[in-house]
Chains A and B, each alone.
Chain A
Amino acid sequence: MKRDNTGKQQSWVPGVLIGIAIAYLALVQYIPALNVFVQAFHKGIGPFLSNLTKADFLHAAWLTLLLAVITIPINTVFGLCAAWAISRHKFPGRAIVLSIIDLPFSISPVVAGLMIVLLYGRQGWFGPLLEAHNLKIVFAFPGMVLATAFVSMPFVAREVIPVLEEYGSDQEEAAKTLGANDWQIFWRVTLPSIRWGLLYGLILTNARAMGEFGAVSVVSGNIADQTQSLPLFVEEAYKQYETESAFSAAVLLGLLAVVTLVLKAILERRTRI
């Protein structure tokens, strides 16, 4: 009500501001996003489908799926442990640990990939050891898993920590006095209260794991049919002037983004209530 009074003074202001905001978003986001779908389908659905059945593409899609399936459980376990340790214990340097957890977000993905190469590559720390056991990590699938796990590590911890802190440990202590063991407390008390935060973290982890480009591209060597994930496939196809197959793959990744956004929006509404 009060806002209406001021609105009457200069009623054109909100309209203009909304207009500017939408125009800016359109230039930066909407038009490029729409472009993905138009480019992929401008020759009809036939070429699109035939692009999606090529061997290179199928292999890349399979790898991307595999990366997500492997890294999500690892990061969930790590994230939950880290979140629990940080929110349930007061220890010196806690603030530092909190910001260190965010480190994978602030490091350039290329630098993250470089670190893994320096650690596990042929001339790296573990290089001789790995070579002796005939294990290949860099320029192979395990390296891609490591790179993906690294860049998507903080999401779960980050979403769960605030929820855990908000709930406090009262319920857990109550369960303990009633004779529940640690495992029971986790499954029956802690997990239900953090489930939305955890789910939110999982969705973000999944989006990043499937979409990561920089770190994976440094580590994988980008060999078609072997170490090429879907985002790498998109870049490679574009560079080879196969714009159509690039956009066909991009549509799939774009749909992943749409699904992520929809789930995020639903969860945000749920947690707000």
Chain B
Amino acid sequence: MSSDFGIRISGLRAAFATLFLFPLAAPSGAADATLLKGEVDGRQLAAAIAREKGHVVLVNFWATWCVPCREEFPDLVRLEKSYRGRGLRILGVSTDLAKDLPKVEKFLAAGHPDFPNYRKKSGGDDQDFIESVDPKWGGELPFTLLYGRDGKKARVLSGKQSYADFERAVAALMADPGA
């Protein structure tokens, strides 16, 4: 079990993850020894996404206070299970405040995501983070970005999506030889 990361991966997948998937800088501060992989600012998140080049990458921004985020999260867990073998990588990013870390932990413990989840780094102005992720993002949650295998941003999904919405977007990118 990969206790360093605290996420539910095992065996070869954990080894693979250790080598290739999650080589982010060491988690900082309050995120240590949690189900979270660490805290990220916009630059670190961009680096984590870039490391997945060659895969279709889905990045989902969520918060425990956000009801539609909680509602769509199980679909992402299911999506990852179905499409990981076909080259999908999912990264979750909680925008919860530091004081809500226990809620984040509880949520992740209940949701059993097989993909890494980070928390937006504390401090600073949220606007800077939002702008760095996508200049057209207004800050609404949930919010999802999709990147093609070429590492380029391909789709923006604002608001809650259904499993079919996610699957359609991912499948289209996987079928696109240019992406």
Are A and B bound to each other?
no
